[in-house]
Structure 1
Amino acid sequence: MLTRRLLLAGLGTVAASPTLAQQDDWRQSIREIRFGVSSAENEAAAIARNQPMVDYLAKRLGVPVKIYRVSDYAGLVEAMRADQLEFSRFGPAVYSLGRRVLGDKLQPLFRDVDNNGQEGYYSVVVVRADSPYRTVADLKGKSFAFADPNSTSGYAFPAYFLRKQGFDPQAHFSGTVFSGGHDNSVLALVRGQFDGVATYQVNENSGVVQRLALRGMIPAGATRVIWTSPLIPASPFSTRANLPQGLKDAFVAAMMAMKDEAPDVFKAFTDGQVSRYAPAKHEDYLDVIAVTEELEARRKQKPGG
């Protein structure tokens, strides 16, 4: 059972559109929609990306919409379990955790399709561009950071597949830590605090490193990828099964229409790297669930696990 303290801090509320004449039935019981965002992204960046989407949803759906930041990835599951969130985008490993905790109460709705038609992304091991490290083998005895224990690309996939390739993280690196988020990992790497980190990228033009460089938070070309995982299915936007179907349908319709109805909002929310959304189903994440379950079983086998 999760015991982590949930830290919810609202980023902003938008009033419902006063021009909406016809009220659907679900609006009689749902007076506010809460969308969960993990604190893995820094607050200023989260506001810049999400606030236009909040504005759009409030006008489109006709009820106030609020963004909530949570303390970590597992906080999204806790909030959904407590009926404190209506919608959130879950990383695949967080979705796996959510299904273990919530079962069918957690429902996937849709996921990104990038500009190349790809419905997924990759975990990558990144080093500083001026370092001598060219392969994971070169990081023997070096310091390494994962992002979060419930991150797919920042922990589950690299821990699982590196071990399958003969690099047990606990034995191969001099020490491993959880940085608290992808931004933290890459920023610390560039500052010289770690020799290697695990993060994610969609392609060579889109990912954590590219986003931080675009915002001037790290120099362009400051890092280099030395390892890439198999494809991870794109993170599902998810909801609670106990919500009115009319609300879920309205949310999906609004998000699907955002690119055409509010192209600037869509571009800001997706960093310009998403072409459209596609339906997501539970079966899409069975491989990720298998990876996370094996890691959990391994953890429990350790003394004190």
Structure 2
Amino acid sequence: MSITRLPISRRAFGLGAAALALTPVAFAQAQDWRARFPELVYAVVPAENAAGVTERFGPWVAYLSSQLGVRVTLRIASDYAAVIEGMRSGHIHIGDFGPSSYVRAHAVTNGGVEAFASLRQADGSTGYYSVAYARANDRGARLEDFQGRNLCLVDVNSTSGFNVPHFAMHRANIAPDRFFANVQTTGSHENSIIALQRGTCDIAFNWWNSETDSNLMRMGRRGMVNPADFKIVFRSERIPGSPIAFLTSLPPEARALIRQAFFEAPTRNRAAFDRLSDGQSPGFAPATHADYQVIIDLQTFVDRLRRERAQRAS
């Protein structure tokens, strides 16, 4: 796991406009949490290469530092499990999750991790989709056409890259370990597209928001691939939006300021917010744990399915 420490502006050590309006008691409480938490760690799992993540999140964590009055450090995790473990141990305070990895984090911490925000889509809605890509010139047009070929998934804790695909394939009576010649996890959404491009796999699952906003389109804008070289052969029903979550052990004053910084970002620092969202979002929507009940049910199903397959294999 690599850590990128970002420079903090002088504003990081000020109180910010919100603090100026505090009562003397609230002011003392706010200062108390900063003394206890002089640094907050913000963790993300890359859907792109590390340089791309730093470019996207660098201005964002600098903005958070200026609003919270403490250093915010970006941690680029190797996978979702690293973020889950970091939050369980208390070494990570704020995390970007997929729905499934959030549900897992909430479970292993006994509710010690709480969702509070989700990025809105361009039309103001929340949520996204799991899609399966194939090469544009491939003869296959749907999942069922890829029997005996190679499948790429993303990460066992990825919603769009692992859990939703397994649920969709189960509904289509496809047992991946028997239907495909080879099934592999690539570790990231970006890696799956590259594997598909190179011919390592013939079908690859990924996240997709819209025709103009997806991992594939982001890679295309950076010149890594030509989106026209790929086609969608499967798209899921809408998935609840990917949550941002923080530790419930953070003081209430800190959590309130974190929420405020996220929800006011489009007006307080539009440039940093647009860099984070590729200019594809109007802002954040509130999120709660109850929003992810469907993912809890999905996670339970996928875990049971994996246990049954492991038992059959043994």
Same fold? TM cut 0.5: yes
- Give 1:166's aligned residue: 173
CA 1:84/1:16 → structure 2, altered by over 3 Å: closer, same or farther? farther
Structure 1 counterpart of 2:113, one-letter code: L
Question: Which residue of 211, 216, 223 corresponds with 2:218?
Answer: 211
- Give 1:77's aligned residue: 84
Per-residue Cα deviation, 1:132-159 (whole angstroms, up to 9, x for no partner): 1111111111101000011000000011
1:15 and 2:22 are equivalent in the alignment = no
Question: Which residue of 165, 189, 192 corresponds with 1:185?
Answer: 192
Q: Distance in 2 between matches of 1:78 and 1:100?
A: 12
Q: Contact 1:14/1:58 (CA < 8 Å) preserved in 2?
A: no
Secondary structure at the counterpart of residue 100 of structure 1 = helix
Question: Which residue of 142, 154, 174 corresponds with 2:149?
Answer: 142
Secondary structure at the counterpart of residue 228 of structure 2 = coil
Question: Which residue of 250, 264, 269 corresponds with 1:262?
Answer: 269
Structure 1 counterpart of 2:14, one-letter code: L
Q: Contact 1:17/1:63 (CA < 8 Å) preserved in 2?
A: no
Unaligned runs of 5+ in 1: 1-6
TM-score scaled by structure 1? 0.94
1:297 and 2:298 are equivalent in the alignment = no
Secondary structure at the counterpart of residue 275 of structure 1 = coil
Per-residue Cα deviation, 1:45-67 (whole angstroms, up to 9, x for no partner): 10010000011111111111100
Structure 2 counterpart of 1:152, one-letter code: T
Question: Which residue of 154, 158, 165 corresponds with 2:161?
Answer: 154
- Counting matched residue pairs gives 298
Unaligned runs of 5+ in 2: 20-26
TM-score scaled by structure 2? 0.91
Q: Contact 1:160/1:291 (CA < 8 Å) preserved in 2?
A: yes
Structure 2 counterpart of 1:33, one-letter code: L
Question: Which residue of 90, 94, 102 corresponds with 2:101?
Answer: 94
Correspondence list, 1:17-166, <5 A: 17=10, 20=14, 24-25=30-31, 26-166=33-173
Structure 2 counterpart of 1:10, one-letter code: I
Secondary structure at the counterpart of residue 120 of structure 1 = coil
Secondary structure at the counterpart of residue 84 of structure 1 = coil
Per-residue Cα deviation, 1:166-208 (whole angstroms, up to 9, x for no partner): 2222222111100111000001101211100011100111111
Deviating more after overlay: 52-61 vs 74-83? 52-61
Q: Contact 1:37/1:89 (CA < 8 Å) preserved in 2?
A: yes
Q: Distance in 2 between matches of 1:264 and 1:40?
A: 21
Secondary structure at the counterpart of residue 114 of structure 1 = coil
Secondary structure at the counterpart of residue 237 of structure 1 = strand
Structure 2 counterpart of 1:20, one-letter code: G
Identity %: 28
Structure 2 counterpart of 1:150, one-letter code: N
Q: Contact 2:265/2:283 (CA < 8 Å) preserved in 1?
A: no
Q: Contact 1:14/1:66 (CA < 8 Å) preserved in 2?
A: no
Q: Distance in 2 between matches of 1:204 and 1:162?
A: 23
- Give 2:23's aligned residue: none
